[in-house]
Amino acid sequence: MQIVETTLNDALVLEPHIYPDDRGFFLESWNRREFAKVTGINKEFVQDNHSRSTYGVLRGLHYQVKMVQGKLVRVVRGKIRDVIVDLRRSSSTFGKWYAVELSDANQRQLWIPEGFAHGFIVLSDVVDLLYKTTDYYSPKDERTIVWDDKDLSIDWGINNEDKIVLSEKDRYGKCFVESEYFV
């Protein structure tokens, strides 16, 4: 596994070793010992999630204020632009965002530490996204920052905003300056 540093403190892109042959490929998608060795992070994941979406679906920006989740995200089919925002006031990258393409072709994974908002937009016909979390989902603790917040000015990598598909929750998220932050 190779580590690619991001522009945000503590967030990492992971590139697993892929072993292709004429039958397909093999890769180890999760190994706690190897993850801790290369990242210095020793986390227990308590929940695995699978999200399927179609082209133009934008999910996020989501985070939980009490049962705060770290996430390890990967795409097993399709392609997304994955976006994270640092919500930790004590961080020198507070209020900054980072985007990375995750796809079944590049097999990259994104480590999203606790204290970040997370969202993605689907750039392929269909995407299957898998992610592990360090705490359980808690609907009452979930918050949403609106995807098109003017202060964040996130580049979602899509030219036609008319093609973006949003849930009600994501359409009416709070703006960044009204959001709850972490220490």
Annotation: CATH topology of 43-178: Jelly Rolls (2.60.120)
Token digits for 181? 């932050």
This model's pTM is above 0.85:
yes
Q: Could you confirm whether 62 is annotated as catalytic?
A: yes
pLDDT digit string, tens, across residues 35-44: 999 999 999 9
pLDDT of residue 2: 94
pLDDT of residue 159: 82
pLDDT digit string, tens, across residues 119-162: 999 999 999 999 999 999 999 999 999 999 999 999 999 887 78
**Which strands form 142-144's sheet, in the order they lie side by side?**
97-103, 79-86, 116-122, 58-64, 142-144
Of 1, 3, 8, nearest in space to 99 by CA: 8
pLDDT of residue 160: 79
Catalytic one of 62, 63, 98, 118: 62
For the chain, what are the domain ranges? 43-178
pLDDT of residue 141: 97
pLDDT of residue 30: 95
Please, what sign has the CA dihedral across residues 103, 151, 93, 68? negative
Q: What's the CA gap between 75 and 80, in Å, rounded? A: 8
Tens of pLDDT along the chain (183 residues)? 999 999 999 999 999 999 999 999 999 999 999 999 999 999 999 999 999 999 999 999 999 999 999 999 999 999 999 999 999 999 999 999 999 999 999 999 999 999 999 999 999 999 999 999 999 999 999 999 999 999 999 999 988 778 899 999 999 999 999 999 999
Catalytic one of 63, 98, 118, 131: 131
Q: Could you confirm whether 98 is annotated as catalytic?
A: no
